[in-house]
Structure 1
Amino acid sequence: MKTASILAVFVTLCGGIGSAFAQEAKSPFMRPSQTIVAPVQKTTAASPLDAMEFNGVVEIGGVAWLSLYDPQAKKSYWLSKEDAAEDGITLAHYDRGSQPGEESIVVRQGSMTRRLTLKDADIISLKEAPRPAIQRATQRAAPAVQAQTPQRVQQPKAMEAATDEEVRERMQRVAEEIRRRRTLRRDVVEPKANGSN
């Protein structure tokens, strides 16, 4: 009798615990009329092909070589219709698409297949770094701690500003030199012209 009562209590407790797990979770913040639907979790095994990226196509000698990249393993693969990759990845189908950038492939690894489309490249422009100012050798040799007063550099005499009178005299000397050379040239050319007639 004692065993039967213990067994009855045990069955009642187990039944109560089982029914508590079977019932929906109730929240004190929910209305009694609302019911909670537990989300159904999909149990699909992750395939190594899920992370693959189709990066590019290179055609060499009429054979299309396709570049695949696995970001998890950080490994690149090159496939062609004739050759398989080292991890058993093979090319099942290659569609060139109607326009550049619309290429897609179907790859196979064992019994798993996956369709991949050509990944769009992200173009990022780099900012040009500012170039340092060019310094003279004397500036680089001078210690940076001392604040020196700038020395006045004397300009060459040719760079000094000339007065109007000096400019006129120089122009007159240039004109006289041109006239002198023309007369010398004329004297050399005229005697030969007179002697040849």
Structure 2
Amino acid sequence: MGKWWKFGRGGGSKDGEEGQAPAPTPEPTPPPAAPEAPAPAPAGEKKPGLLGRLFGRGRKKEAPAEATPPEAAAPPTPPPAPPAPPAPPSQGPSGGSEEGGDSEGAGGEEGEEEKEERVFPSSVTASVDGSWVISDSVWHGLIAGTLSGEDAKAFILHCEKGREHKAIELLAAAYDKDDMGFARYLDTKQSSWGSIDY
């Protein structure tokens, strides 16, 4: 090997010393291994294009197949239906003693349903004859009037439940619709009357 001269310091060293030998050149690194070739696409599938590979747009991954085939997967069973309510006892025109008892029980139930579903007339015309105490005077005569709506319903219920004095107050208000003072000054506790017709 020849001498190594340090450049930039003149032709050589003054005392004739040899320079340091240069570092050995590094060995070239082996080229990286070629990327593995992608597995061949199954027949019928399209390979991604050049732009797709450049921009990283790959195919959408298919959803993994279910472990069990759809035929084997059974749909969930619906919850059992609640038991149907028992049918009401049949109402026959004639029957034995047991059927008679059933029909009586059914009749009681029907009576309750009738009370709940009872429909009252929209208006009632009623009249009653009596001796009416008005303030300090007594008047004998017939009062009559037509009640409608809630007054008609209340009048019927008062008559049915024996509260005739309340029914008379409603009838007197209908009779004295011009407010002549009959209904205001009528004393039902001191008055007397016959049967109420409606």
**TM-score bracket, shorter-length normalisation:** under 0.3
Flag the structure with higher helix content: 1
Higher relative contact order (CA 8 A, sep 6+): 2
TM-score with structure 2 length normalisation? 0.17
TM-score with structure 1 length normalisation? 0.17
Larger Rg: 2
Flag the structure with higher strand content: 1
